[in-house]
């Protein structure tokens, strides 16, 4: 931690800061500059609450060298984490995975038809929502447990493990009974009670970045689960909220190489939510894999024009099949082995 003093801070103010640092149990190292003095704080293990010093007279700002997370950091865990979901392995070095399915489960026919089609086209996992977060209360909110049962049915039929969203701490057990992986949606990235509950289970979790969350906050949210003992966390970038309205969100693709530097956890991209427009999805999906993503999530619907949610960003079955052919060629070009059993 570094404490930067004002230009005009006097000797007494500097000494008061040093004493405050020492009262916190650390040592203080003044660095006199030609324009102002800074004071280094030594001896802390991890993040320090700076409130004691931030408000002392003469203090201009406090700069943290340590971060609000540790277990998710590559600094402290250099080797890549590989996460197994059913028979699928996800993480650096493994062939990137494709998770596909409808935004929401709507009927047995819809989910079975989609599951069979995405399996045939080469998807590795099935996705679909049974509990749906919706902006307003007057729209379709998902089929609930009935939806979980249909996902499980489609999963058994096709052999595809599935991921589905969980929205509250008290339904974690229920969702975990059915799903191979649980998803935390963007709106819940900082629902800390939910994160703590997910830290206690032993199933992998897909954590989506909040629409205005920084990378540091995303990693700190993952830290909640690792701190509780669940190390099976996969991160997912799905676009952030910016001033641009031509797309639903703005994909922050640089997080892929950046998270590879900062963390050992796998990182996926969701081109469907990132763009919100079907016609943009294929280009972004392939770009994500080129950038080094460990996988992608895609919304696919047999009849997008009749979808109860997110129709405009869902690929058709034909569109998905075509994209998968291109993805297969791209992954081959990138030198990945075919997945076992493919």
Q: Is 230 helix (H, G, I), strand (E, B) or coil?
A: coil
Q: Is 104 helix (H, G, I), strand (E, B) or coil?
A: strand
Tell me the C-alpha distance between 224 and 190, whole Å: 10
Closest CA to 37 of 14, 15, 65: 14
CB of 49 to a second copy, least distance (A): 7
- Applying CB under 8 A, among 14, 18, 70, 94 the residue interacting with a second copy is 70
CB of 91 to a second copy, least distance (A): 17
Please state the separation of Cα 267 from the chain's center in Å: 7
CB of 35 to a second copy, least distance (A): 6
H-state helical runs in the chain = 11-23, 51-54, 108-121, 145-158, 172-178, 192-200, 215-228, 255-262, 271-275, 281-290, 317-333
Residue span binding a second copy (CB under 8 A) among the ranges 44-52, 91-99, 118-126, 173-181:
44-52
Rounded alpha-carbon distances, angstroms, from residue 6 to 2, 36, 101: 13, 6, 56
Nearest to a second copy of 50, 157 (CB atom): 50
The first and second tokens of residue 264, run together, are 């050992």
Tell me the C-alpha distance between 14 and 25, whole Å: 17
Q: Is 270 helix (H, G, I), strand (E, B) or coil?
A: coil
Nearest to a second copy of 13, 84 (CB atom): 13
**Tokens 């989506």 correspond to what residue?**
208
Residues between 164 and 203 that touch a second copy (CB under 8 A): 167-171, 187-188, 190-194, 196
230 within 8 A of 207, measured Cβ to Cβ: no
- Applying CB under 8 A, among 310, 317, 320, 324 the residue interacting with a second copy is 310
54 binds a second copy (CB under 8 A): yes
6 binds a second copy (CB under 8 A): yes
Helix (H) or strand (E) holding 329: helix 317-333
Residues between 278 and 307 that touch a second copy (CB under 8 A): 278-280, 283-284, 286-292, 304-307
CB of 89 to a second copy, least distance (A): 22
Residues between 136 and 155 that touch a second copy (CB under 8 A): 136-140
CB of 251 to a second copy, least distance (A): 6
For residues 241 to 280, the per-residue mask of contacts with a second copy, x marking binding by CB under 8 A and - elsewhere, is xxxxxxx--xxxxxxxxx--x------------xx-xxxx
Residues between 78 and 97 that touch a second copy (CB under 8 A): none
**Residue 217 CA neighbour count, 13 Å, CB half:** 14
Nearest to a second copy of 24, 150 (CB atom): 24
106 binds a second copy (CB under 8 A): no
């Amino acid at each position: 931690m570094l404490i930067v003093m004002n230009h005009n801070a006097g000797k007494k103010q500097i000494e008061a800061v040093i004493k405050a640092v020492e009262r916190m149990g650390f040592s203080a190292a003044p660095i006199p500059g030609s324009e102002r003095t800074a004071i280094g704080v030594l001896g802390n293990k991890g993040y320090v609450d700076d409130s004691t010093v931030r408000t002392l007279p003469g203090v201009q700002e406090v700069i943290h060298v340590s971060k609000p997370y540790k277990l998710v950091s590559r600094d402290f865990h250099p080797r890549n984490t590989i996460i197994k979901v059913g028979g699928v392995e996800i993480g650096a070095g493994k062939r990137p995975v494709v998770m596909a399915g409808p935004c929401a489960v709507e009927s047995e026919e819809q989910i079975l038809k989609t599951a069979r089609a995405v399996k045939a086209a080469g998807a590795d996992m099935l996705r679909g929502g049974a509990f749906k977060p919706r902006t307003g209360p007057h729209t379709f909110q998902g089929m609930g447990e009935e939806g979980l049962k249909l996902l499980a049915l489609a999963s058994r039929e096709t052999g595809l493990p599935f991921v589905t969203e969980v929205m509250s701490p008290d339904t974690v057990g229920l969702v975990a009974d059915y799903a191979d992986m649980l998803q935390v949606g963007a709106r819940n990235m900082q629902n800390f009670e939910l994160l703590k509950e997910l830290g206690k289970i032993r199933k992998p979790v897909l954590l989506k970045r909040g629409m205005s969350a920084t990378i540091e906050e995303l990693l700190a949210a993952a830290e909640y689960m690792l701190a509780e003992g669940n190390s099976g966390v996969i991160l997912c970038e799905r676009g952030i909220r910016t001033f641009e309205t031509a797309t639903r969100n703005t994909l922050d693709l640089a997080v892929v190489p950046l998270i590879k530097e900062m963390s050992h956890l796998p990182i996926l991209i969701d081109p469907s939510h990132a763009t919100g427009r079907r016609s943009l999805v294929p280009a972004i999906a392939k770009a994500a894999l080129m950038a080094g993503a460990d996988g992608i999530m895609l919304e696919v619907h047999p009849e997008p024009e009749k979808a109860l949610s997110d129709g405009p960003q869902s690929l058709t079955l034909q569109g998905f099949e075509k994209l998968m052919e291109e993805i297969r060629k791209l992954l081959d070009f990138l030198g990945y082995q075919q997945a076992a059993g493919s």
